[in-house]
Chains A and B, each alone.
Chain A
Amino acid sequence: MEMDDLPKGELPPHLELQRTRVVCAADAPSYTESVQYSGAYMAYDVDNSLRMEDFRKNFRVEIKSLNEDDIEFDLIGIDAALANAFRRILIAEVPTVAIEKVYIANNTSVIQDEVLAHRLGLVPIKADPRLFDYKTDEEIANEKNTIVFKLDVECTHMGERVKNASDQLKWLPAGSEMPPDSKTKFTSFGCSQDSLPAFTSEAIASRYPDIVLAKLRPGQAIEIEAHAVKGIGKTHAKWSPVATAKYRMLPEVVLLEDIEGDLADELVRTCPVNVFDIEDMGPGERRATVARPRDCTLCRECVRGDGWDKRVQLRRVKEHFIFSIESTGALPPEVLFTESIKILTEKCQRILTELL
């Protein structure tokens, strides 16, 4: 069938909108998924297949902010499946080091042994996991797979109540000192860890010094040794290197018609995050403009009232992700992301080798 009035090689605007945008109406979002099938728009003579060169051409990464713990960057020209893969890997598969075994010599505090051990496990440790090996149950702890900490605190009888924070966790680079009366310790280190070039500059410690582990009353004491090993977030959340890794699609706010006068004021007023601005169009004439669409949190206030859904449309750009990573501190966030890419490539490689 010939349809002459339709231009060849491009989609009609409503389909283009459906393909590239999520429309967030007041009641529900629609067109949330992307169309995967390469021949989906064959009728319009549009090729929907994913091509490497297109991807190379379109794909961009823009870092918006970066500091010690957080990063926010835009991933442009990528499908949600891929972005999500990075997010999932960051949460569950990038390894870190966390305390796994706690040897308790003495604990007279109110906090129970298991609970104390659980709390210790969740303390983020600033140690580069790439320098360590995974430790299996059968393996003997050595300097390559175990970091040993000691916590030996006491609240003296005359003293006040003391808080026991994570900075009192002392690193034992030479390995375990337990059991005290035996020659064979729990670890067998070949050399002291602080002789290794990576750790000479900075001692391994908790990322934050002020995490409360326990509180001691006069006369109470804790004497423990904690062994940290490498692991991944899938086994336990304590190994997750991120507080969270998340993304959101780029917000796009469209004014479907010109909004002027009092309506414009109303629009500006309703938005709690100040997405809109007022543009002066000469004496007494005001027009609303979309100034900061990126700030939109999708509270849908602007499309809530009567008739407002005809004036404003909230959208999300499908292939544009605002990705943010909050690191727990073991690795800087940008390194975490590159690590996640490495893990994904590794996985792809594995599939490829197994397929061939």
Chain B
Amino acid sequence: MKKKKVKKKIIDNVNNRQQTHQPLCIREMEFPIKSTVDKYQLLPAFLKVRGLVKQHIDSFNYFINCEIKKIIHATGNEKVTSDVDPNFYLKYLDIFVGEPCVEQDYIYEPITPHQCRLRDMTYAAPISVDVEYTRGREIVVRRGKEGKQEGALVIGRMPLMLRSCRCVLSGKNEAQLAKAGECPLDPGGYFVVKGTEKVILIQEQLSKNRIIIDTDSSGNVAASVTSSTHERKSKTNIIVKHERIFLRHNTFSDDVPIVVVLKAMGMESDQEIVQMVGRDPKYAGILAPSLQECSALGIHTQQQALEYLGVKKLLSCLYTGLLGVLQVDEARDILATVVLAHVPVHQFEFRPKCIYIAVIIRKMLEAMLNTDAVDDKDYVGNKRLELAGQLLALLFEDLFKRMNGELKKSVDMTLAKANRSTQFDIAKCIRPDFLSNGLEHAISSGNWTVKRFKMDRKGVTQVVSRLSFIAALGHMTRITSQFEKTRKVSGPRALQPSQWGMLCPCDTPEGEACGLVKNLALMTHVTTDEEEGPLIALCTTLGVEDLSMLSGEELHSQHTYIVFFNGIILGVHRRPQRFAETLRKLRRAGKIGEFVSIHVNPGQHSIHIASDGGRVCRPLVIADNGVSRIKEHHMKELKDGFRTFDDFLREGLVEYLDVNEENNSLIALYEADATPATTHIEIEPFTILGVCAGLIPYPHHNQSPRNTYQCAMGKQAMGNIAYNQLHRIDTLLYLLVYPQRPLLTTKTIELVGYDKLGAGQNATVAVMSYSGYDIEDAIVMNKASLDRGFGRCIVLKKSVTALKKYNNRTADRIVAPDMNTSAKGGVQVAPRHQIQDRDGIAAVGEMIRPGDIYINKQSPINTRDNVMNPQAMPDSAYKRTPQTYKGPPGECAVVDKVLLTSNDENHFIVKCLIRHTRRPEVGDKFSSRHGQKGVCGTIVQQEDFPFSERGICPDLIMNPHGFPSRMTVGKMIELLGGKAGVMSGRFHYGSAFGEPSGHADTVSAISETLVNHGFSYSGKDFIYSGITGYPLQAYIFMGPVYYQKLKHMVLDKMHARARGPRVVLTRQPTEGRSREGGLRLGEMERDCLIAYGASMMILERLMISSDQFQIQVCTKCGMMGYYNHKLKIALCTYCKSGENMATMKLPYACKLLFQELQSMNILPRLQLSEA
């Protein structure tokens, strides 16, 4: 009742307003939109402007357009000078990343990403700089024209992100993309380095430059600030030890009392310190011991404090040996630039830093008094995501600095020489390889090492998984945490409530990385840095009182709020709500950046304004008094194409909120739930899920781990990879022959394009028990379905052969297929060479069997010594090094493609793609979209399969025991919906949480459709047994379910061996399937045999069938002898006689051990006794 009243009130309000102000006709238009169905259109509009991997591309674009310029203009980077010649300088004026191209025979040619993939090249563009430098006495300026590289100096090549602003693919339409060999549905956001696609994973880390109050292991409150500026990164901790407060920093050898630090910064009066922290006796009481300690140390003045700190600091190499006054200066310098480096100190004006420390202390004291004030480290608002752009910027700056260092070295070297023959031109000293190789190597290996910041990360990049379209897409949204995987803590792994709408709650791997690897939700955006200057100026004009004018008293008075801007204290404001509102209004009006967040924290009496990069945010509809700002006519305009998502943003109908600002708002899921206090309304509830979880129909009806399992399995499903899949030459490619789009779709499926690049087939599933070959989730398959193409897949495997060039100017070569002369005298192609063309390379379309030679390659025998005429060496100078096909025995594959090309090092390479088409067999793995995987248990003839009254025969039978414990109700609804969809000829929807908004068909509506088509409402049919012909004594739940074929196939895994290869060293059977190895009888199995007493069995398994060896033993000295075949006697080399020799059998490994022991002067003697 209560609820209803409120709702009515709102409507009344609206009506009143309209009646008074608006004419009648507009009244209807002004009416708030009723259902959320209409608002859905915002989503495709959003994805159109932002794209699915926009965060990567935005970040990279920002790096290439802005950050890179900031880097070269940063102090210390901008100029290269010489210690030798004070007149010499090289100044960088501008930097520009050009168009992707490749140098071939001194000609620059534009390249496309697909060429790079095929030719194993790097998709990169030249980085050119405008420079000014001295050449002798003249000043030379080299400047590119309007961003063109001619005239400018090329300093290296920057790998380009696909679909970034410099990529040839940006802004292209579908036809142009097709011409470039690219799939229009491919999201981009990755790099092509040496032919492999590499994605720089999003890195999650704790916010920089923010105060984080935490408790340490002993339960004491501790504050930590990770300062990060362009020049320096440092971590400052303020800790509590024995009830006193200390500052801990790695420039100081020991914890230093905080009061000493404050005094060193010029806050000499204890009163001032107390006032700064807060005059309230409860704070002063806690602070007292710290103050006492300081006075106990006898430190009262700034000079004394600095002297104390000077002693405590670690010896730095710069000032070693100097004492006294200098140490004080040094301490002051450290305080100014290293401790809390992000707080700017101009000309040793320490006041802002003092206040900053005071604020930290106050926060700590508050946390001591009230444990709620402790910050949550796992809170998403305290996290920043580091994207490709930021990571590359770090790397680039480091490489750039090192390059300048090298440059300076070479300048000093040359200029130091007294008489030079030619004028020194620094432009000729620049080696573009250094930057290019540095960037390329980092991306291809994933090792990010920046020595300056002591950063050494591994596995930053990954090869884009092209197992399926979704796998690739999901890879672009993946976030890894810097957290250690082995630690057993639940906090960072747990699902945070603040992840809502930002990170997908389902998509995380199982096992050790569970909860540490996350995925972005559908509408998440990650911010990039924004210009700070204008925003600070704006804050001041809006009434932020500057810090320097304030006393400690004013800082903490009841009504003042401290204004933080990107972690730095700007000042205070007395009317925080009004200030925040004004800022938000400005943001909605587009006067300040849309990603600036304003967050009022009444508990801490602070306002946080953030414009830094790496925050996650998402768009929300703004509501006034609980009424959505988006009206019917807005959506109509959007639908008609008069409006874009940006218009909504510009007009202040929609805005981006980050996690912190979300805490200042009340967000309603639907309009209907809105109350007058509501400030925002969600655009679509299903956007809290990511790309992978978005494929699941009715995920909100499933047990949650099932959705997580499906997120992992969706990436292993075979299907279509991209529109250009048949033009790609990947190491391993799995394709489905007849992929289908799911009968039961979701809105996410349509948005990401899974309906165009599906990975599965709609199988008619009967849920019943059949044959006993369906236990433990096994499925029974219909042979006729398999005959007709169900689950048929193509496996394409690549093999690359590079024709090596050797140092002695010889090279590998490919020769015509070998010929055999038959008995009759005719010449025939040798049996294993028959698939080759006359050029010695396999012909496309030929069937290839294991053992066939597909490239008849030869290598020179001598690759070291110089050869007289490398081009005309005799055949005898070559040895055969043919490429032999190794595939599953008995199977026959086809040569799909042969590519002859050269890579960017001008090596001739031959890529062969070998195709194998497989039909499902017993043991192949299948799964539905609900985390219900199972292997094929048996394949049954169609006539033995049950059939319905309509003659429908299922494609597969699933055991009903899969349901009760898994609780995948979503799968049951999918079956019902699929059945209704087939009958009514309409794709049904099952979007997450979609029932209220009409994005998911309700079960009742589906049941009604079923009944109208003569089916039972429950989806259960009257079934006849195909074996007996009688009806079954139960109605069977039967209908279509989208099934995925997973990449795990028996053919790739089955392995058995009777006899086979052995390891040379130990003569034991090899290990592993790939080496045709034996199956190990391990320790535990051995224990079983011992316990059973099967001694002969042990002997047989461990010695006779493994590495039995016969040796001659001298019974006298106990050493091993040998058998002389000439004399036909056994001899002992130690006793020099053939007497007393005995023959025995032992494992070869044992004999090896004895000999190895002997080689290190340990003599094992064998003492034999009569058996």
The answer to whether A92 touches B1016, judged by C-beta atoms less than 8 angstroms apart, is: no
Cross-chain contact of A28 among B787, B788, B1034 (Cβ < 8 A):
B1034
Interface centre among B726, B737, B1024, by most chain A C-beta atoms within 10 angstroms, is: B1024
Contact string against A for B residues 824-843, beta-carbon threshold 8 Å, 1 for contact and 0 otherwise: 00000000000000000000
Is B715 engaged at the interface, CB distance under 8 Å to the other chain? no
Given contacts A80-B1028, A240-B784, contact A30 B1033 (CB under 8 A): yes
For B783-796 the 0/1 string (1 means CB < 8 A from A) is 11001110010100
For residue A43, CB closer than 8 A to chain B, the reply is no
Contact B1028 A300 (CB under 8 A): no
Is there an interface contact between B942 and A92, defined as CB atoms closer than 8 Å?
yes
Is B709 part of the contact surface with A, judged by Cβ < 8 Å?
no
Of the candidates A107, A234, A301, which one forms a contact with B941 in the assembled complex, judged by CB atoms under 8 Å apart?
A234
Q: Which of A5-13, A113-121, A171-179, A201-209 contacts B (4 or more CB under 8 A)?
A: A113-121
Chain A proximity of B367: nearest CB distance (Å):
63
Chain A binder among B108-116, B151-159, B412-420, B943-951? B943-951
CB pair B943–A88 under 8 Å, yes or no, is: yes
- B787 near A29 with CB under 8 A, answer no
Q: Which residue of B lies closest to A322 (CB)?
A: B949
Q: How far is the CB of B295 from chain A (nearest CB, A)?
A: 86
The answer to whether the Cβ of A187 comes within 8 Å of any Cβ in the partner chain is no
Instruction: Kindly list chain B residues whose C-beta atoms are within 8 Å of the C-beta of A110.
Output: 726
B1022 touches A88 (CB 8 A): no
CB distance from B495 to the nearest CB of A (A): 41
Is residue B980 within 8 Å, beta carbon to beta carbon, of the partner chain? no
A301 engages B1029 (CB within 8 Å)? no
User: Per-residue CB proximity of B767-801 to A under 8 Å, as 1/0?
Assistant: 00000000000000001100111001010000000
Any chain A CB within 8 A of the CB of B915? yes
Enumerate 25 A-B pairs (CB-CB under 8 Å) in ascending A order: A24-B1022, A28-B1035, A29-B1031, A32-B1031, A33-B1028, A80-B1028, A84-B1024, A84-B1029, A87-B943, A88-B943, A107-B845, A113-B894, A114-B894, A114-B917, A115-B794, A233-B784, A237-B783, A237-B942, A272-B1011, A297-B1015, A298-B1016, A298-B1022, A299-B1011, A299-B1015, A301-B1011
Q: Is B603 an interface residue (CB 8 A)?
A: no
Specify the chain B residue showing the minimal Cβ separation from A80: B1029
Q: Which residues on B sit within 8 Å (CB–CB) of A240?
A: 784, 942
Question: Among the interface residues A24, A110, A112, A304, which one has the most CB atoms of the partner chain B within 10 A?
Answer: A112
Asked whether any CB of chain B lies closer than 8 Å to the CB of A49, the reply is: no
Instruction: Tell yes or no: B1012 within 8 A of A by CB.
Output: yes
Q: Determine whether the beta carbon of B1032 is less than 8 Å from that of A272.
A: no
B residues 1020-1077 touching A (CB-CB < 8 Å)? 1021-1022, 1024, 1026-1035
CA gap between A91 and B941 in the complex, in Å: 10
Q: How far is the CB of B723 from chain A (nearest CB, A)?
A: 11
Q: Is A320 an interface residue (CB 8 A)?
A: no
Residues of A within 8 A of B1024 (CB): 80, 84, 247-248
| A130 within 8 Å of B (CB atoms) | no
9 cross-chain pairs, A with B, having the tightest CB-CB distances, nearest first: A84-B1029, A246-B951, A237-B787, A297-B1014, A237-B784, A80-B1029, A88-B943, A32-B1031, A248-B949
Interface string of A297-311 (1 = CB under 8 A from B): 111110010000000
Residue from the set A29, A122, A247 with the largest chain B CB neighbour count within 10 Å: A29
B1017 within 8 A of A: yes
Question: Is there contact, CB below 8 Å, between B1026 and A299?
Answer: no
Interface flag for B953 (CB, 8 Å): yes
B172 touches A (CB below 8 Å): no
Known: A244-B951, A297-B949. A112 touches B1030 (CB 8 A): no
Number of interface residues of B (CB under 8 A): 44
Question: What is the bound-complex CA distance between A316 and B688, given in angstroms?
Answer: 51
Chain B residues near A259: list those with CB within 8 A: none
A233 neighbours in B (Cβ, 8 Å): 784, 942-943
A: residues with CB less than 8 A from B are 22, 24, 28-30, 32-34, 80-81, 83-85, 87-88, 91-92, 104, 107, 110, 112-115, 118, 122, 233-234, 236-238, 240, 244-249, 272-273, 297-301, 304, 316, 324, 326
B1013 CB within 8 Å of chain A = yes
Q: Once bound together, how far apart are the Cα atoms of A114 and B942, in whole Å? A: 23
Residues of B within 8 A of A112 (CB): 794, 894, 896, 915, 917
How close is A178's CB to chain B, nearest CB, in angstroms? 15
How far, in Å, is B916 (CB) from chain A's closest CB?
9
B789 touching A92 by the CB < 8 A rule? no
Shortest beta-carbon distance, B179 to chain A, in Å? Answer: 14
- Say yes or no: A300-B947 contact (C-beta < 8 A), given A29-B1032, A115-B737, A316-B1031: no
Query: Please, what's the 1-or-0 string for B722-738, where 1 marks a CB less than 8 Å from any CB in chain A?
Result: 00001000000000010
Please report the C-alpha to C-alpha distance between residue A66 and residue B1011 in the assembled complex, in whole angstroms: 29
The answer, among B726, B1014, B1032, for a CB contact under 8 Å with A273, is B1014
Inter-chain CA distance A92–B941, complex, in Å, is: 8
Given A91-B784, A272-B1011, A299-B1014: 16 more A-B contacts, CB < 8 Å: A29-B1032, A29-B1034, A33-B1030, A80-B1028, A87-B943, A88-B944, A92-B942, A104-B845, A107-B845, A115-B794, A118-B792, A234-B941, A237-B788, A240-B942, A272-B1012, A297-B949
A234 surroundings in chain B (CB, below 8 A): 941
Q: A91-B943, A107-B845, A238-B787 are in contact. Are A29 and B1014 (CB under 8 A)?
A: no
Q: Specify the chain B residue showing the minimal Cβ separation from A28.
A: B1034
Task: Tell me if A118 and B726 are in contact (CB < 8 A).
Answer: no
Q: B787 contacts which chain A residues (CB < 8 A)?
A: 236-238
Cα A28 to Cα B788 in complex, Å, equals: 33
Q: How many A-B residue pairs have CB under 8 A?
A: 116
Bound CA–CA A234/B944 (angstroms):
11
Residues of chain A with a CB closer than 8 A to B1015's CB? 297, 299
State in angstroms the CA–CA spacing of A304 and B1007 once bound together: 13
Question: What CA separation (Å) do A112 and B737 show in the bound complex?
Answer: 9
Hey, which chain B residues are within 8 Å of A30, CB to CB?
A: 1033
A26 to nearest B CB, angstroms? Answer: 9
| Contact across chains for B1013 and A272 when beta carbons are under 8 A apart | yes
With A91-B943, A113-B894, A297-B949: A32-B784 Cβ-Cβ less than 8 Å: no
Q: Report the minimal beta-carbon distance from A341 to chain B, rounded to whole angstroms.
A: 16
Question: A247 — nearest CB in chain B belongs to which residue?
Answer: B1024
Determine the distance from Cα of A122 to Cα of B788 in the docked complex, in whole angstroms: 7
Q: Are A300 and B1016 in contact (CB under 8 A)?
A: yes
State in angstroms the CA–CA spacing of A115 and B919 once bound together.
Answer: 11
Which A residues are CB-close (under 8 A) to B788?
A: 122, 237
Task: Encode contact with A along B879-921: 1 for CB under 8 Å, 0 otherwise.
Answer: 0000000000000001010000000000000000001010000
Bound Cα distance from A275 to B391, whole angstroms? 71
| A-side contacts of B1014, CB under 8 Å | 272-273, 297, 299
Instruction: Decide yes or no: A298 and B1028 within 8 Å by CB, A115-B737, A237-B783, A272-B1014 being known contacts.
Output: no
Cβ < 8 Å to A, chain B residues 984-1038: 1010-1017, 1021-1022, 1024, 1026-1035
Give the CA-CA distance A107 to B895 in the complex, in Å.
Answer: 13
Contacts of B1032 in A (CB 8 A): 29, 32
Let me know if B1011 and A28 touch, CB within 8 A. no
Chain B contacts for A246, CB-based, 8 A: 947, 949-951
- For A24, give the chain B residue with the smallest CB separation: B1022
Minimum Cβ distance to chain A for residue B1006 (Å) = 14
Chain A hits for B845, CB < 8 A? 104, 107, 113
Q: How far is the CB of B288 from chain A (nearest CB, A)?
A: 79
A136 to B88, CA, bound (A): 91
Docked CA distance A246–B1032 (Å): 15
* From A28, A88, A122, A300, contact of B1026 by CB (8 A): A88
Is the CB–CB distance between A249 and B1017 below 8 Å? no
* Interface contact A32-B1033, CB-CB below 8 Å: yes
Specify which of A29, A87, A273 is in contact with B1035 (CB 8 Å cutoff).
Answer: A29
Q: Is the CB of A92 within 8 A of B1031?
A: no
Pick the most buried of A33, A246, A316: most chain B CB atoms within 10 A of its CB: A246
Distance (Å) between the CB of A316 and the closest chain B CB?
Answer: 7
Docked CA distance A324–B953 (Å): 14
Question: How far is A236 from B783 in the complex, measured between Cα atoms in Å?
Answer: 8
Inter-subunit contact B1033/A28 (CB<8 Å): yes
